[in-house]
Chains A and B, each alone.
Chain A
Amino acid sequence: MTGETAVINVAARASLWLRPHRIVLVLIALALVLFAAFFMRWDWLPQYWEMGLLGIWRSLWILAVTCALGFMLAVPLGLAQAGGPFWFAVPAKVFCTIIRGTPLLLQLWLLYYGLGSLFPQYPWIRGSWMWPYLRQAWPYGVLALTLSFAGYEGEVMRGAFAGVPKGQLEAARAFGMSRFKIFRRIWLPQAFYRALPTLTGETVLQLKSTPLVATISVIDIFAVSSKVRQDTYLTYEPLLLLALIYMSVTGILVLAFSRIEARIPVKIG
Protein backbone atom coordinates (compact mmCIF):
# COMPACT_ATOMS: atom_id res chain seq x y z
CA MET A 1 0.00 0.00 0.00
CA THR A 2 2.65 2.47 1.05
CA GLY A 3 4.83 1.32 -1.84
CA GLU A 4 2.04 2.09 -4.28
CA THR A 5 1.47 5.60 -2.90
CA ALA A 6 5.21 6.21 -3.01
CA VAL A 7 5.27 5.25 -6.69
CA ILE A 8 2.31 7.54 -7.36
CA ASN A 9 4.06 10.34 -5.47
CA VAL A 10 7.22 9.93 -7.48
CA ALA A 11 5.22 9.86 -10.71
CA ALA A 12 3.30 12.99 -9.68
CA ARG A 13 6.52 14.74 -8.79
CA ALA A 14 8.13 13.73 -12.06
CA SER A 15 5.14 14.94 -14.07
CA LEU A 16 5.48 18.31 -12.33
CA TRP A 17 8.90 18.63 -13.93
CA LEU A 18 7.94 17.16 -17.28
CA ARG A 19 5.47 19.79 -18.36
CA PRO A 20 6.54 21.32 -21.69
CA HIS A 21 7.22 24.85 -20.40
CA ARG A 22 9.22 23.51 -17.46
CA ILE A 23 11.37 21.42 -19.78
CA VAL A 24 12.09 24.52 -21.86
CA LEU A 25 12.91 26.56 -18.73
CA VAL A 26 15.19 23.84 -17.38
CA LEU A 27 16.95 23.67 -20.75
CA ILE A 28 17.44 27.45 -20.76
CA ALA A 29 18.82 27.26 -17.20
CA LEU A 30 21.17 24.46 -18.25
CA ALA A 31 22.34 26.52 -21.22
CA LEU A 32 23.04 29.44 -18.86
CA VAL A 33 25.01 27.20 -16.53
CA LEU A 34 27.02 25.77 -19.44
CA PHE A 35 27.64 29.27 -20.75
CA ALA A 36 28.90 30.31 -17.31
CA ALA A 37 31.07 27.20 -17.05
CA PHE A 38 32.74 27.61 -20.44
CA PHE A 39 32.83 31.32 -21.13
CA MET A 40 33.60 32.67 -17.68
CA ARG A 41 36.95 32.34 -15.99
CA TRP A 42 37.23 29.62 -13.37
CA ASP A 43 40.99 29.01 -13.47
CA TRP A 44 41.35 30.58 -10.03
CA LEU A 45 39.34 27.77 -8.42
CA PRO A 46 42.20 25.28 -7.80
CA GLN A 47 44.20 27.95 -6.03
CA TYR A 48 41.41 29.08 -3.73
CA TRP A 49 39.21 26.08 -3.10
CA GLU A 50 40.92 25.08 0.16
CA MET A 51 40.51 28.58 1.48
CA GLY A 52 36.90 28.49 0.31
CA LEU A 53 36.16 25.26 2.15
CA LEU A 54 37.69 26.73 5.30
CA GLY A 55 35.52 29.82 4.79
CA ILE A 56 32.36 27.72 4.41
CA TRP A 57 33.28 25.76 7.52
CA ARG A 58 33.80 29.00 9.44
CA SER A 59 30.48 30.46 8.27
CA LEU A 60 28.62 27.31 9.28
CA TRP A 61 30.40 27.20 12.61
CA ILE A 62 29.46 30.81 13.34
CA LEU A 63 25.88 30.05 12.29
CA ALA A 64 25.61 27.02 14.56
CA VAL A 65 27.22 28.65 17.59
CA THR A 66 25.28 31.91 17.38
CA CYS A 67 21.95 30.14 16.79
CA ALA A 68 22.49 27.79 19.75
CA LEU A 69 23.68 30.51 22.14
CA GLY A 70 21.07 32.95 20.85
CA PHE A 71 18.26 30.47 21.41
CA MET A 72 19.45 29.77 24.94
CA LEU A 73 19.31 33.50 25.57
CA ALA A 74 15.94 33.84 23.81
CA VAL A 75 14.19 31.42 26.18
CA PRO A 76 14.65 33.55 29.31
CA LEU A 77 13.95 36.70 27.27
CA GLY A 78 10.65 35.27 26.02
CA LEU A 79 9.75 33.86 29.41
CA ALA A 80 10.42 37.17 31.14
CA GLN A 81 8.15 38.99 28.72
CA ALA A 82 5.41 36.38 28.71
CA GLY A 83 5.05 35.68 32.40
CA GLY A 84 7.72 37.49 34.37
CA PRO A 85 7.31 40.29 36.89
CA PHE A 86 7.70 43.74 35.41
CA TRP A 87 11.32 44.25 36.53
CA PHE A 88 12.19 41.26 34.32
CA ALA A 89 9.68 41.97 31.57
CA VAL A 90 10.63 45.61 30.98
CA PRO A 91 14.39 45.12 30.50
CA ALA A 92 13.74 42.12 28.25
CA LYS A 93 11.28 44.16 26.19
CA VAL A 94 13.76 47.05 25.94
CA PHE A 95 16.53 44.69 24.87
CA CYS A 96 14.39 43.12 22.13
CA THR A 97 13.21 46.53 20.90
CA ILE A 98 16.74 47.90 20.68
CA ILE A 99 18.10 44.83 18.89
CA ARG A 100 15.20 44.75 16.44
CA GLY A 101 15.19 48.50 15.93
CA THR A 102 18.80 48.96 14.83
CA PRO A 103 20.75 47.43 11.93
CA LEU A 104 22.91 44.41 12.72
CA LEU A 105 25.85 45.99 10.90
CA LEU A 106 25.72 48.95 13.29
CA GLN A 107 25.55 46.64 16.33
CA LEU A 108 28.52 44.72 15.00
CA TRP A 109 30.59 47.83 14.42
CA LEU A 110 29.50 49.26 17.77
CA LEU A 111 30.83 46.16 19.53
CA TYR A 112 33.99 45.77 17.45
CA TYR A 113 35.11 49.36 17.00
CA GLY A 114 33.34 50.93 19.99
CA LEU A 115 33.71 48.35 22.71
CA GLY A 116 36.92 46.98 21.22
CA SER A 117 38.55 50.40 21.39
CA LEU A 118 37.75 50.74 25.09
CA PHE A 119 39.45 47.56 26.30
CA PRO A 120 43.12 48.42 25.61
CA GLN A 121 42.87 51.38 28.00
CA TYR A 122 42.63 49.13 31.03
CA PRO A 123 45.84 47.34 32.06
CA TRP A 124 43.95 44.71 34.08
CA ILE A 125 42.09 43.62 30.94
CA ARG A 126 45.31 43.51 28.95
CA GLY A 127 46.80 41.29 31.64
CA SER A 128 43.84 38.93 31.97
CA TRP A 129 43.33 35.58 30.24
CA MET A 130 40.62 37.14 28.05
CA TRP A 131 42.97 39.52 26.29
CA PRO A 132 44.16 37.10 23.54
CA TYR A 133 40.49 36.59 22.63
CA LEU A 134 39.47 40.23 22.91
CA ARG A 135 42.20 41.18 20.44
CA GLN A 136 40.68 38.99 17.76
CA ALA A 137 37.66 39.87 15.67
CA TRP A 138 35.56 36.71 15.83
CA PRO A 139 34.40 37.02 19.47
CA TYR A 140 32.78 40.35 18.59
CA GLY A 141 31.14 38.81 15.53
CA VAL A 142 29.82 35.87 17.52
CA LEU A 143 28.59 38.16 20.29
CA ALA A 144 26.79 40.52 17.91
CA LEU A 145 25.14 37.71 15.95
CA THR A 146 24.16 35.92 19.16
CA LEU A 147 22.54 39.02 20.63
CA SER A 148 20.74 39.70 17.37
CA PHE A 149 19.36 36.16 17.16
CA ALA A 150 18.33 36.34 20.82
CA GLY A 151 16.51 39.63 20.22
CA TYR A 152 14.46 38.39 17.28
CA GLU A 153 13.87 34.91 18.65
CA GLY A 154 13.07 36.31 22.11
CA GLU A 155 10.09 38.07 20.59
CA VAL A 156 9.01 34.80 18.92
CA MET A 157 9.42 32.87 22.18
CA ARG A 158 7.33 35.49 23.99
CA GLY A 159 4.46 34.74 21.64
CA ALA A 160 5.10 31.01 21.88
CA PHE A 161 5.11 31.01 25.70
CA ALA A 162 2.00 33.19 25.81
CA GLY A 163 0.28 30.92 23.29
CA VAL A 164 0.46 27.77 25.40
CA PRO A 165 -3.12 27.23 26.62
CA LYS A 166 -3.74 28.07 30.27
CA GLY A 167 -5.45 24.74 30.81
CA GLN A 168 -2.21 22.86 30.18
CA LEU A 169 -0.39 24.77 32.89
CA GLU A 170 -3.34 24.46 35.28
CA ALA A 171 -3.49 20.72 34.71
CA ALA A 172 0.24 20.47 35.44
CA ARG A 173 -0.24 22.42 38.65
CA ALA A 174 -3.17 20.18 39.58
CA PHE A 175 -0.81 17.22 39.23
CA GLY A 176 1.30 18.83 41.92
CA MET A 177 4.27 19.58 39.71
CA SER A 178 6.74 22.13 40.98
CA ARG A 179 7.06 25.35 39.00
CA PHE A 180 10.36 24.30 37.50
CA LYS A 181 8.99 20.92 36.51
CA ILE A 182 5.99 22.60 34.85
CA PHE A 183 8.38 24.74 32.89
CA ARG A 184 10.61 21.86 31.92
CA ARG A 185 7.95 19.29 31.07
CA ILE A 186 4.98 21.34 29.82
CA TRP A 187 5.62 25.00 29.13
CA LEU A 188 8.98 24.90 27.34
CA PRO A 189 8.33 21.89 25.06
CA GLN A 190 4.96 23.20 23.91
CA ALA A 191 6.32 26.69 23.37
CA PHE A 192 9.24 25.18 21.43
CA TYR A 193 6.89 23.24 19.14
CA ARG A 194 4.98 26.44 18.49
CA ALA A 195 8.16 28.37 17.72
CA LEU A 196 9.68 25.68 15.51
CA PRO A 197 8.20 26.82 12.16
CA THR A 198 9.52 30.36 12.70
CA LEU A 199 12.85 28.93 13.85
CA THR A 200 13.50 27.75 10.28
CA GLY A 201 13.04 31.26 8.94
CA GLU A 202 15.11 32.80 11.71
CA THR A 203 17.96 30.38 11.09
CA VAL A 204 17.95 31.16 7.37
CA LEU A 205 17.93 34.89 8.21
CA GLN A 206 20.85 34.28 10.56
CA LEU A 207 22.75 32.49 7.79
CA LYS A 208 22.15 35.51 5.60
CA SER A 209 23.54 37.76 8.34
CA THR A 210 26.80 35.84 8.76
CA PRO A 211 28.62 37.55 5.83
CA LEU A 212 28.49 40.79 7.84
CA VAL A 213 31.31 39.45 10.03
CA ALA A 214 33.57 39.79 6.99
CA THR A 215 33.38 43.57 7.51
CA ILE A 216 35.27 43.18 10.80
CA SER A 217 37.98 41.02 9.19
CA VAL A 218 36.71 37.54 10.07
CA ILE A 219 37.63 35.28 7.14
CA ASP A 220 34.33 33.59 6.35
CA ILE A 221 33.23 32.48 2.89
CA PHE A 222 32.15 36.00 1.97
CA ALA A 223 35.59 37.35 2.85
CA VAL A 224 37.20 34.61 0.75
CA SER A 225 35.14 35.65 -2.27
CA SER A 226 36.11 39.29 -1.68
CA LYS A 227 39.75 38.24 -1.61
CA VAL A 228 39.35 36.35 -4.89
CA ARG A 229 37.75 39.45 -6.40
CA GLN A 230 40.62 41.62 -5.28
CA ASP A 231 43.31 39.20 -6.42
CA THR A 232 41.90 38.29 -9.82
CA TYR A 233 39.95 41.45 -10.73
CA LEU A 234 36.96 39.24 -11.56
CA THR A 235 33.57 40.67 -10.63
CA TYR A 236 30.92 38.11 -11.34
CA GLU A 237 32.45 34.64 -11.04
CA PRO A 238 33.24 34.69 -7.29
CA LEU A 239 29.95 36.40 -6.48
CA LEU A 240 27.88 33.94 -8.52
CA LEU A 241 29.63 30.99 -6.89
CA LEU A 242 29.10 32.60 -3.50
CA ALA A 243 25.37 33.04 -4.19
CA LEU A 244 25.20 29.39 -5.25
CA ILE A 245 26.91 28.28 -2.04
CA TYR A 246 24.51 30.28 0.13
CA MET A 247 21.52 28.93 -1.81
CA SER A 248 22.69 25.34 -1.29
CA VAL A 249 23.20 25.89 2.43
CA THR A 250 19.77 27.51 2.70
CA GLY A 251 18.23 24.58 0.84
CA ILE A 252 19.90 22.06 3.15
CA LEU A 253 18.81 24.02 6.23
CA VAL A 254 15.18 24.22 5.08
CA LEU A 255 15.17 20.50 4.23
CA ALA A 256 16.68 19.55 7.60
CA PHE A 257 14.20 21.68 9.53
CA SER A 258 11.25 20.30 7.60
CA ARG A 259 12.47 16.80 8.55
CA ILE A 260 12.56 17.82 12.22
CA GLU A 261 9.17 19.51 11.96
CA ALA A 262 7.64 16.40 10.42
CA ARG A 263 8.60 14.44 13.54
CA ILE A 264 6.84 16.82 15.91
CA PRO A 265 3.22 15.97 16.82
CA VAL A 266 0.90 18.33 14.97
CA LYS A 267 -1.99 18.46 17.41
CA ILE A 268 -0.90 20.58 20.32
CA GLY A 269 -2.83 22.73 22.77
Chain B
Amino acid sequence: MPPGWGGTLLVGLLHSIEIAIGATCLGLLIGTGGAFGKLYGGPVTRDLLAVYTTVVRAVPELVLILLLYYAGTDLINQVLAAMGYQRVDISGLAAGIFVLGVVQGAYSTEVIRGAILSIPQGQIEAARAYGMSPGLMLRRITLPAMLPFAIPGLANLWLIATKDTALLAVVGFFELTLATRQAAGVTKAYLVFFLAAGALYLALSLFSNLIIGRVEARSRRGMPSVKEAR
Protein backbone atom coordinates (compact mmCIF):
# COMPACT_ATOMS: atom_id res chain seq x y z
CA MET B 1 0.00 0.00 0.00
CA PRO B 2 1.50 3.36 -0.98
CA PRO B 3 2.22 5.68 1.93
CA GLY B 4 0.46 8.94 2.69
CA TRP B 5 -2.96 10.09 1.58
CA GLY B 6 -2.77 8.13 -1.69
CA GLY B 7 -3.04 4.96 0.38
CA THR B 8 -6.05 6.37 2.26
CA LEU B 9 -7.79 7.05 -1.03
CA LEU B 10 -7.11 3.53 -2.28
CA VAL B 11 -8.49 2.03 0.96
CA GLY B 12 -11.56 4.18 0.45
CA LEU B 13 -11.89 2.94 -3.13
CA LEU B 14 -11.61 -0.64 -1.89
CA HIS B 15 -14.42 -0.05 0.62
CA SER B 16 -16.54 1.53 -2.10
CA ILE B 17 -16.05 -1.48 -4.36
CA GLU B 18 -16.81 -3.89 -1.52
CA ILE B 19 -20.09 -2.13 -0.77
CA ALA B 20 -21.01 -1.87 -4.43
CA ILE B 21 -20.43 -5.60 -4.96
CA GLY B 22 -22.31 -6.55 -1.81
CA ALA B 23 -25.21 -4.21 -2.58
CA THR B 24 -25.47 -5.44 -6.16
CA CYS B 25 -25.53 -9.09 -5.04
CA LEU B 26 -28.17 -8.38 -2.38
CA GLY B 27 -30.08 -6.32 -4.92
CA LEU B 28 -29.98 -9.19 -7.42
CA LEU B 29 -31.36 -11.60 -4.81
CA ILE B 30 -34.16 -9.21 -3.85
CA GLY B 31 -34.74 -8.37 -7.50
CA THR B 32 -35.06 -11.99 -8.61
CA GLY B 33 -37.43 -12.76 -5.76
CA GLY B 34 -39.34 -9.54 -6.35
CA ALA B 35 -39.66 -10.14 -10.08
CA PHE B 36 -41.02 -13.65 -9.55
CA GLY B 37 -43.33 -12.34 -6.85
CA LYS B 38 -44.63 -9.64 -9.16
CA LEU B 39 -45.15 -12.06 -12.05
CA TYR B 40 -46.35 -15.23 -10.36
CA GLY B 41 -47.21 -14.19 -6.79
CA GLY B 42 -50.63 -13.82 -5.23
CA PRO B 43 -52.50 -10.51 -5.24
CA VAL B 44 -51.21 -9.43 -1.83
CA THR B 45 -47.57 -10.16 -2.74
CA ARG B 46 -47.98 -8.19 -5.94
CA ASP B 47 -49.47 -5.17 -4.23
CA LEU B 48 -46.83 -5.13 -1.50
CA LEU B 49 -44.05 -5.41 -4.09
CA ALA B 50 -45.62 -2.59 -6.09
CA VAL B 51 -45.58 -0.43 -2.98
CA TYR B 52 -41.93 -1.35 -2.34
CA THR B 53 -40.69 -0.53 -5.84
CA THR B 54 -42.77 2.64 -6.09
CA VAL B 55 -41.67 4.03 -2.73
CA VAL B 56 -38.00 3.25 -3.24
CA ARG B 57 -37.99 4.78 -6.69
CA ALA B 58 -39.82 7.93 -5.57
CA VAL B 59 -37.78 8.82 -2.46
CA PRO B 60 -34.21 10.16 -2.70
CA GLU B 61 -31.51 7.60 -1.94
CA LEU B 62 -30.08 9.90 0.72
CA VAL B 63 -33.36 9.88 2.68
CA LEU B 64 -33.74 6.11 2.26
CA ILE B 65 -30.19 5.56 3.46
CA LEU B 66 -30.84 7.56 6.63
CA LEU B 67 -34.21 5.89 7.25
CA LEU B 68 -33.01 2.35 6.63
CA TYR B 69 -29.79 2.94 8.52
CA TYR B 70 -31.54 4.11 11.69
CA ALA B 71 -34.51 1.76 11.36
CA GLY B 72 -32.28 -1.24 10.57
CA THR B 73 -29.87 -0.74 13.45
CA ASP B 74 -32.75 0.04 15.83
CA LEU B 75 -34.61 -3.09 14.80
CA ILE B 76 -31.60 -5.37 15.19
CA ASN B 77 -30.78 -3.93 18.59
CA GLN B 78 -34.36 -4.26 19.80
CA VAL B 79 -34.49 -7.88 18.64
CA LEU B 80 -31.17 -8.54 20.37
CA ALA B 81 -32.40 -6.82 23.54
CA ALA B 82 -35.62 -8.86 23.47
CA MET B 83 -33.56 -12.03 23.23
CA GLY B 84 -31.43 -10.91 26.14
CA TYR B 85 -28.26 -10.01 24.30
CA GLN B 86 -26.22 -6.81 24.54
CA ARG B 87 -26.68 -3.96 22.08
CA VAL B 88 -24.20 -4.14 19.21
CA ASP B 89 -22.73 -1.56 16.89
CA ILE B 90 -23.64 -2.53 13.36
CA SER B 91 -20.54 -2.42 11.16
CA GLY B 92 -20.66 0.31 8.55
CA LEU B 93 -19.94 -2.19 5.82
CA ALA B 94 -22.93 -4.40 6.66
CA ALA B 95 -25.23 -1.40 7.08
CA GLY B 96 -24.08 0.12 3.81
CA ILE B 97 -24.56 -3.13 1.92
CA PHE B 98 -28.02 -3.62 3.44
CA VAL B 99 -29.18 -0.09 2.72
CA LEU B 100 -27.93 0.11 -0.85
CA GLY B 101 -29.03 -3.49 -1.46
CA VAL B 102 -32.63 -2.64 -0.58
CA VAL B 103 -32.50 0.34 -2.94
CA GLN B 104 -30.90 -1.70 -5.72
CA GLY B 105 -33.45 -4.46 -5.15
CA ALA B 106 -36.32 -2.22 -6.19
CA TYR B 107 -34.66 -1.26 -9.44
CA SER B 108 -33.49 -4.78 -10.26
CA THR B 109 -36.99 -6.09 -9.60
CA GLU B 110 -38.21 -3.99 -12.50
CA VAL B 111 -35.26 -4.88 -14.73
CA ILE B 112 -35.58 -8.63 -14.13
CA ARG B 113 -39.37 -8.53 -14.46
CA GLY B 114 -39.04 -6.87 -17.84
CA ALA B 115 -36.37 -9.38 -18.88
CA ILE B 116 -38.52 -12.37 -17.92
CA LEU B 117 -41.44 -10.90 -19.84
CA SER B 118 -39.31 -10.63 -22.97
CA ILE B 119 -38.45 -14.34 -23.00
CA PRO B 120 -40.28 -15.87 -25.98
CA GLN B 121 -43.39 -17.52 -24.53
CA GLY B 122 -42.76 -20.72 -26.50
CA GLN B 123 -39.61 -21.50 -24.53
CA ILE B 124 -41.48 -21.51 -21.23
CA GLU B 125 -44.36 -23.50 -22.71
CA ALA B 126 -41.89 -26.03 -24.08
CA ALA B 127 -40.29 -26.38 -20.64
CA ARG B 128 -43.72 -26.97 -19.10
CA ALA B 129 -44.53 -29.49 -21.81
CA TYR B 130 -41.39 -31.40 -20.84
CA GLY B 131 -42.85 -31.66 -17.35
CA MET B 132 -40.15 -29.57 -15.68
CA SER B 133 -40.81 -28.59 -12.10
CA PRO B 134 -40.92 -24.80 -11.46
CA GLY B 135 -37.51 -24.90 -9.76
CA LEU B 136 -35.86 -26.75 -12.61
CA MET B 137 -37.52 -24.49 -15.14
CA LEU B 138 -36.22 -21.45 -13.26
CA ARG B 139 -32.68 -22.81 -13.22
CA ARG B 140 -32.49 -24.22 -16.72
CA ILE B 141 -34.79 -22.00 -18.78
CA THR B 142 -36.03 -18.78 -17.22
CA LEU B 143 -32.83 -17.45 -15.64
CA PRO B 144 -30.47 -18.23 -18.55
CA ALA B 145 -32.97 -17.10 -21.17
CA MET B 146 -33.69 -13.78 -19.47
CA LEU B 147 -30.01 -12.96 -18.94
CA PRO B 148 -29.32 -11.31 -22.32
CA PHE B 149 -32.35 -9.06 -21.82
CA ALA B 150 -31.46 -8.24 -18.22
CA ILE B 151 -27.73 -7.57 -18.56
CA PRO B 152 -27.87 -4.03 -20.01
CA GLY B 153 -30.20 -2.92 -17.23
CA LEU B 154 -28.29 -4.74 -14.52
CA ALA B 155 -24.99 -3.33 -15.80
CA ASN B 156 -26.51 0.12 -15.52
CA LEU B 157 -27.52 -0.70 -11.95
CA TRP B 158 -23.97 -1.77 -11.12
CA LEU B 159 -22.69 1.59 -12.37
CA ILE B 160 -25.35 3.35 -10.28
CA ALA B 161 -24.33 1.25 -7.25
CA THR B 162 -20.68 2.27 -7.54
CA LYS B 163 -21.74 5.91 -7.61
CA ASP B 164 -24.36 5.55 -4.86
CA THR B 165 -21.68 4.33 -2.45
CA ALA B 166 -20.56 7.98 -2.33
CA LEU B 167 -23.84 8.81 -0.56
CA LEU B 168 -22.73 6.72 2.42
CA ALA B 169 -20.17 9.45 3.08
CA VAL B 170 -23.06 11.54 4.38
CA VAL B 171 -23.81 8.99 7.16
CA GLY B 172 -20.11 8.87 7.95
CA PHE B 173 -19.07 5.59 6.37
CA PHE B 174 -15.44 5.57 5.32
CA GLU B 175 -15.40 5.16 1.55
CA LEU B 176 -13.69 6.95 -1.31
CA THR B 177 -15.61 10.23 -1.13
CA LEU B 178 -15.29 10.61 2.63
CA ALA B 179 -11.62 9.56 2.50
CA THR B 180 -11.08 12.24 -0.12
CA ARG B 181 -12.81 14.86 1.97
CA GLN B 182 -10.72 14.00 5.01
CA ALA B 183 -7.49 14.02 3.01
CA ALA B 184 -8.44 17.31 1.37
CA GLY B 185 -9.49 18.86 4.67
CA VAL B 186 -6.20 18.04 6.34
CA THR B 187 -3.89 19.01 3.48
CA LYS B 188 -6.06 21.92 2.19
CA ALA B 189 -5.35 20.64 -1.34
CA TYR B 190 -9.05 20.28 -2.14
CA LEU B 191 -8.87 20.41 -5.91
CA VAL B 192 -6.08 17.85 -6.22
CA PHE B 193 -7.73 15.24 -4.04
CA PHE B 194 -11.23 15.64 -5.46
CA LEU B 195 -9.84 15.40 -8.99
CA ALA B 196 -7.88 12.28 -8.02
CA ALA B 197 -10.99 10.70 -6.53
CA GLY B 198 -12.94 11.60 -9.67
CA ALA B 199 -10.27 9.89 -11.75
CA LEU B 200 -10.55 6.76 -9.56
CA TYR B 201 -14.36 6.64 -9.91
CA LEU B 202 -14.06 7.22 -13.64
CA ALA B 203 -11.47 4.47 -13.98
CA LEU B 204 -13.81 2.11 -12.11
CA SER B 205 -16.71 3.03 -14.42
CA LEU B 206 -14.67 2.64 -17.59
CA PHE B 207 -13.17 -0.66 -16.44
CA SER B 208 -16.68 -1.89 -15.57
CA ASN B 209 -17.89 -0.88 -19.02
CA LEU B 210 -15.12 -2.95 -20.57
CA ILE B 211 -16.08 -6.05 -18.55
CA ILE B 212 -19.80 -5.45 -19.15
CA GLY B 213 -19.22 -5.38 -22.90
CA ARG B 214 -17.50 -8.79 -22.71
CA VAL B 215 -20.20 -10.29 -20.50
CA GLU B 216 -22.96 -8.95 -22.71
CA ALA B 217 -21.36 -10.33 -25.83
CA ARG B 218 -21.01 -13.72 -24.14
CA SER B 219 -24.58 -13.82 -22.83
CA ARG B 220 -25.89 -12.97 -26.29
CA ARG B 221 -23.87 -15.63 -28.08
CA GLY B 222 -25.93 -17.50 -30.61
CA MET B 223 -28.47 -14.67 -30.79
CA PRO B 224 -28.68 -12.25 -33.72
CA SER B 225 -26.75 -9.08 -33.01
CA VAL B 226 -28.71 -6.01 -32.00
CA LYS B 227 -27.88 -4.20 -35.23
CA GLU B 228 -29.07 -7.06 -37.44
CA ALA B 229 -32.25 -7.46 -35.44
CA ARG B 230 -33.35 -3.88 -36.06
Contact = CB atoms under 8 A, between A and B. Distances in A.
Contacts of B197: 106
Interface string A79-116: 00000000000000000011011111111011001110
Contact of B55 (A25, A103, A212, A247): A247
A221 to B, nearest CB: 10
A26 to B, nearest CB: 10
Contact of B71 (A25, A97, A236): A236
B194 interface: yes
A209 interface: yes
B191 interface: yes
A243 interface: yes
Contact of A103 (B57, B66, B166): B166
A208 B195 contact: no
A243 B194 contact: no
Interface string A169-208: 0000000000000000000000000000000000010011
A98 B63 contact: no
Chain A, interface size category, equals: 35 or more
A243 B59 contact: yes
B14 interface: no
B198 A208 contact: no
B60 A246 contact: yes
Interface string B203-221: 0011000000000000000
B59 A113 contact: no
A9 interface: no
A106 B194 contact: yes
A13 interface: no
B58 interface: yes
B201 interface: yes
A239 to B, nearest CB: 5
A215 to B, nearest CB: 6
Nearest to B201: A102
B179 to A, nearest CB: 11
Main secondary structure of the interface of B (DSSP, over half): helix
B43 A105 contact: no
B15 interface: no
Interface string B177-196: 10011001000101100110
Contacts of A236: 67, 70-71
A258 interface: no
A113 B63 contact: no
B52 to A, nearest CB: 13
Of residues A102, A211, A250, which shows the largest number of chain B Cβ atoms within 10 Å of its Cβ? A102
B58 A98 contact: no
A110 B57 CA distance: 27
A211 B63 contact: yes
Interface in A220-268: 222, 235-236, 239-240, 242-243, 246-247, 250-251
Given A114-B195, A117-B190, A222 B62 contact: yes
A11 interface: no
A109 B194 contact: yes
A106 B169 CA distance: 10
Contact of A114 (B177, B190, B206): B190
Given A103-B177, A106-B166, A246-B59, A19 B191 contact: no
17 contacts: A21-B43, A21-B44, A101-B205, A102-B202, A104-B166, A105-B166, A105-B170, A106-B197, A113-B184, A114-B190, A117-B190, A210-B60, A211-B62, A222-B60, A243-B55, A246-B63, A247-B58
Given A25-B47, A212-B62, A246-B59, 17 more contacts: A21-B43, A22-B47, A102-B205, A103-B163, A103-B164, A103-B166, A109-B194, A110-B194, A110-B198, A117-B188, A204-B57, A204-B58, A208-B59, A208-B60, A209-B60, A246-B58, A250-B59
Query: Closest 5 interchain pairs by CB?
Result: A103-B166, A101-B205, A110-B194, A114-B191, A208-B60
Interface of B: 43-44, 47-48, 55, 57-64, 66-67, 70-71, 74, 159, 163-167, 169-170, 177, 180-181, 184, 188, 190-191, 194-195, 197-198, 201-202, 205-206
